[in-house]
A and B are shown apart, each in its own frame.
Chain A
Amino acid sequence: ETGVTQTPRHLVMGMTNKKSLKCEQHLGHNAMYWYKQSAKKPLELMFVYSLEERVENNSVPSRFSPECPNSSHLFLHLHTLQPEDSALYLCASSQDLGMGYNEQFFGPGTRLTVL
């Protein structure tokens, strides 16, 4: 039990669907992250939130939309996705951003398949 949960664990959607991924951390952390993990590729950082404020502006297509309603919850809203968006989407949290350990704790991920 890592203290970070994600739902759903598996999701199959068509290109015209709208769906949302949910992440919840039970660790009292202040920072939360969304990553995309594709086979044999490095983890790609998508979004970073610190104290519910978005702090990272990576080049992520607008068909991905994050939401952080409070410090424990993070959502990733999906619409009009492409087949190349099929991947494992990982949520992570850390105590804070910045120096020191601040190691990231990961959820189990959502395996997304776009048809």
Chain B
Amino acid sequence: GQNIDQPTEMTATEGAIVQINCTYQTSGFNGLFWYQQHAGEAPTFLSYNVLDGLEEKGRFSSFLSRSKGYSYLLLKELQMKDSASYLCAVRDSNYQLIWGAGTKLIIKP
């Protein structure tokens, strides 16, 4: 079967760095996405990785290792507004997104 695993909840301190991990087992791989979802709001796109390595976009970076079926989202200089759920999703061989259950990130002052 297809499976995306990510931690249910993480806590970090304002100004710090946090890494949210995602491991996947899917039928085929055509890219990995990270989305942010604030409570009661729609998910919004953060990053896309299709090749191994690190993609940096401001305070957010995303890493992919296809051989390990592994990705992480790195958030630097955490701000209170970063409190949200972070969703990992893999595009499979049918070009459909398989989603993880999301990681709820709590930022403390």
Contacts and interface: CB of A to CB of B under 8 A. Distances in A.
A56 B45 CA distance: 22
Q: How large is the interface on B (under 10, 10 to 19, 20 to 34, 35 or more residues)?
A: 20 to 34
B41 to A, nearest CB: 7
B87 A45 contact: no
Nearest to A39: B101
A48 B101 contact: no
How would you classify the secondary structure of chain B's contact residues: helix, strand, loop or mixed?
A: loop
Contacts of A48: 96
Interface stretch (A63-71, A72-80, A100-108): A100-108
Contacts of B98: 42
Contact of A90 (B42, B48, B94, B101): B42
Nearest to A43: B99
Contact of B100 (A42, A103, A107): A42
B30 A103 contact: no
A93 to B, nearest CB: 12
How would you classify the secondary structure of chain A's contact residues: helix, strand, loop or mixed?
A: loop
B43 A106 contact: yes
Interface in A41-68: 41-43, 45, 48, 56
B41 A56 contact: no
A26 to B, nearest CB: 14
Q: How large is the interface on A (under 10, 10 to 19, 20 to 34, 35 or more residues)?
A: 20 to 34
Contact of A45 (B31, B41, B44, B96): B96
B86 interface: no
Most-contacted residue by chain B among A42, A97, A107, A108 (CB, 10 A): A42
A101 B33 CA distance: 9
Contact of B97 (A2, A40, A45, A105): A45
Interface of A: 2, 4, 40-43, 45, 48, 56, 90, 97-99, 101, 103-109
16 contacts: A2-B42, A2-B44, A4-B42, A42-B98, A42-B99, A43-B87, A43-B99, A45-B97, A48-B96, A97-B95, A98-B95, A99-B31, A104-B45, A106-B43, A107-B42, A108-B41
Interface of B: 4, 8, 30-31, 33, 41-45, 48, 87, 89, 94-102
